[in-house]
Amino acid sequence: MEFPFDINQIFTERISFLDQNLVADRWTARRPDLQANLATVIDELGRASAKAQQLTAAVTSASKLQSQRHQLYLLKDGECSGGRGAVVGFLKVGHKKLFLLDRHGVHVEAEPLCVLDFYIAENLQRHGYGLELFDFMLQHKNVEPGRMAYDRPSPKLLSFLEKHYSLTQNVPQVNNFVVFEDFFFNRAAAV
């Protein structure tokens, strides 16, 4: 995704980590103009992701990121657009308190790290960028994909998880979250 401003000025790293402070680094924190552009990027990504998933409203925006305790990883390609760079996609995660059912139908209360939104620009999908972003997050959070929960995963995300992490056996839930069998291994059941 291209923008009418310099992406490399806002995001200095190939993958940036953003939380509720909404600063890519100390440099953007001191520049209100860069902060405004950063918010534009997040809003635009949120809209594109909602459109791709046929959602009526975006689940990701700059203001939502500021008010919720979620975290966002943003991947850029710093070399395109005449050196100004472009945004490839993003992955948003956060902890949620969930009431889940294990494979025996026993209630388990947990607060796992959840995948809340995930989007790679249409023309760049199926090129391995999603995997790059997801693997970065797994290392950064030191978490296994089977230990995470997935909020209303799209068919593309389910296929992605099966292909890259062999996650196939999901355990049916009564909410919108999907968890896999690995989630319940060695987990104390708190009813």
| Residue 108 engages ligand ACO in binding (rule: CB under 6 A) | no
Q: Which of 11, 90, 119, 183 binds ligand ACO (CB under 6 A)?
A: 119
Closest to ligand ACO by CB, 151 vs 182, is: 151
Closest to ligand ACO by CB, 90 vs 184, is: 90
| Residue 126 engages ligand ACO in binding (rule: CB under 6 A) | yes
Report the candidate in 37, 97, 43 with the shortest Cα–Cα distance to residue 65.
Answer: 43
Q: Which of 33, 127, 166, 175 binds ligand ACO (CB under 6 A)?
A: 127
Closest-by-Cβ residue to ligand ACO is 130
| Residue 15 engages ligand ACO in binding (rule: CB under 6 A) | no
Contacts of 46 (CB under 8 A, 6+ apart): 58, 59, 60, 61, 64, 117
* Segment near ligand ACO (CB under 6 A); pick from 63-71, 96-104, 116-124, 141-149: 116-124
Q: Which of 11, 73, 90, 118 binds ligand ACO (CB under 6 A)?
A: 118
In this structure, the number of other CB atoms found within 10 A of the CB of residue 189 comes to: 12
Size of the chain, expressed as the number of residues it contains: 191
| Residue 50 engages ligand ACO in binding (rule: CB under 6 A) | no
| Residue 170 engages ligand ACO in binding (rule: CB under 6 A) | no
Q: Is 24 helix (H, G, I), strand (E, B) or coil?
A: coil
| Residue 117 engages ligand ACO in binding (rule: CB under 6 A) | yes
The interface with ligand ACO within residues 62-91 (CB under 6 A) comprises none
Contacts of 127 (CB under 8 A, 6+ apart): none
Residue found under tokens 């979620």: 70
Contacts of 50 (CB under 8 A, 6+ apart): 56, 57, 58, 59, 60
Strands 113-120 and 71-77: unpaired
| Binding-site ranges for ligand ACO (CB under 6 A) | 49, 52-53, 115, 117-120, 125-131, 150-154, 156-157, 159-160, 163
